[in-house]
Amino acid sequence: MDPNLVYAKTPTGDEAVRQSTRVVQRNLRMVLVQVDGKMSVSELGEKIGNPRLVENALRELEGGGFIAPTVEAVSVWEESRKAARKEVQQKAVSVMSEFSTFGPRTASGLGDSRLGQSAASNFSSFGKPILPASGRAEAVSEQPVEITNGGSDTSAGQSRISLGKASVMLVFGVIVAITLLALLYPFDRFRGALESTLSESFGVSVSIGKVDLGFLPSPYLSLTGIKLAGGAAGSIEQVRIASPWSLLGSSPYRISRIDVIAPEISAVTLVGMPVWRGLGLGAVVTERAHIERLRVRLNETLALPLLYGELRFRGDGLIDKASCETADRGLLVEAIPSAQGIGLSIEGRAWKMDGMDIAFASLQAKGLLQSRRLVIQNIDTTFMGGILRGNWQIDWGDTPTMTAEGNLSRIDLRKVSAAFFPTLKMEGDLSGPIRLRSGGSGWDSLWRDADVAINAEITRGVLIGVDLGEASRRGGGTEVRGGATRFDRLRAAVSVARGQVVGRELRMDAGMMTASGQFAAGQGGYIDANLAVSLQTSVSSVSIPVRVSGKLPDLVAIARK
């Protein structure tokens, strides 16, 4: 077929476009609709996208008289118009002759009544003129209507609407099916396999109370009532497994995210988990595990603060990064797998210890968590207006013990007094090495019953409640109440044990006055101190024994003779 040949619809083809029953084959009708007397055979092939189909269809349409080459189509349309006009004229003459006065009449002079009814019906005002069946198509075709791409667009639009409805129904059906599956499917059948997988991940036997499916914010598999080693090693309120369909295949199970809600795990179990020993999570491979309200239990009475955080894993299932923080975000802890346990990197921001009103403005430290011991080293913190550096360790077993050692630098005594000895009114900068040791069943007893030893050095201080200089000047057993003693430097070996404070080797330098001796402070704030006060003049030096006693803050100084 000549690719440059241009086809046009014949009156029969035009009528076939209007009546879908004339050409029912889809490919023929598709090509017939596109024939417009302008596009060549090659252009039609390019538009429809199948040149061979177009050529075959054009041959069949031409053979059926639906299309013709452009020149022949014009002559066909002209002959059709002439035939239509001739038929209309003949019909009009026939109708007029029936009503003409020159024709034969009936006896009544009205002519045949049936003819009148026919004429009236043909020219009734209650509808369009009805043409004879033989000339109906030609009369309709007298003014040919050119059908362009609009017909194809309408058909395509209807197809798209139908396809869209089908898609909506399909999606709706899938949603209903998934919902029914979620409500009716017995997810508990996975319990045994999940318990085995979790046991491998935690390194202890794990039991699951219930397995079901959740939907919001996205579908997840919910595991609740989880017990580790029957509860002795810990428990978990809930585990949420994202993309639960990933468990339908074979191991390793690749899960995008796991949420662990309110886990309470013993330190022994946590440290013993394979993931901290470079063995991964076993049959589970995940990108991250979100942890909410983690409680690490040291023993039956001791636990670390609640932590919130996330564990990120590498493609091979090993930990890439593990970080947790307290609810107030005051303490940030990053965990690192270690051969000795779990390595810790600690950073604090205005963090307060549980049960204490002491805040660490800033804190940096390294640590190591083991099954029976927590060691915090290289502590560097801003504490009570000064700096504290040192190490801290707690061992737990039948009777937990806590030890610490460090060095204080320029600690504000007013803050120390307000926190530990509210009735002691003392100012100055405290420095010196400090050691701590205690034993107890809980955090309260560990801190309350701690034995503390410090070689204290206080500079630019004030002791409020007693005036040693005035008592020395008066002498003779005179009592001096109240007042204050200012000093440049005070040194003493101070120990705190069972709520009692003892100071030995005390020496105070206050310009022309010095004092040395010892003191003791019992429970309830009672003070008893024996001092030797020396007054230096330009010509002599006088040493006077002075006793200080009373209950803080009301003290009495008496100089002996």
Q: Report the range out of 16-20, 366-370, 422-426, 552-556 with the highest average pLDDT.
A: 366-370
**pLDDT average, residue stretch 117-127:** 39
365-404, pLDDT tens digit by residue?
999 999 899 999 999 999 888 999 999 999 997 789 999 9
Query: So what's the pLDDT on residue 177?
Result: 67
Any long-range contacts for 216-223 (C-beta under 8 Å, 24+ apart)?
A: 218/242, 219/182, 219/243, 219/244, 220/244, 220/259, 221/187, 221/190, 221/247, 223/194, 223/198
467-494 b/e with 16+ CB inside 10 Å = b? bbbbbbbbeeeeebeebbbbbeebbbeb
Query: So what's the pLDDT on residue 412?
Result: 93
Asked whether residue 40 carries a pLDDT value surpassing 70, the answer given is yes
**pLDDT average, residue stretch 456-471:** 91
Is there a contact between 345 and 333 (Cβ–Cβ < 8 Å)?
A: yes
Q: Judge if the upstream peptide bond of residue 553 is cis by omega within 30 degrees of 0.
A: yes
Residue 81's pLDDT band (cuts 50, 70, 90): low
What is the maximum span of the chain, computed from C-alpha positions, in angstroms?
A: 177
Is there a contact between 284 and 201 (Cβ–Cβ < 8 Å)?
A: yes
DSSP codes of every residue in 171-227 = HHHHHHHHHHHHHHS-GGGGHHHHHHHHHHHHSS-EE-SEEEEE-SSS-EEEEEEEE
Closest CA to 295 of 286, 304, 285, 287: 304
Q: How many helices and strands, by DSSP H and E, does the chain display?
A: 13, 25
| 323's tokens | 């970080």
480-505, pLDDT tens digit by residue?
998 899 999 999 999 988 778 999 99
Pairing state between β 284-297 and 253-266: parallel
Closest CA to 141 of 12, 27, 242: 12
Look over the chain and give the mean of its residue pLDDT values, rounded to a whole number. 79
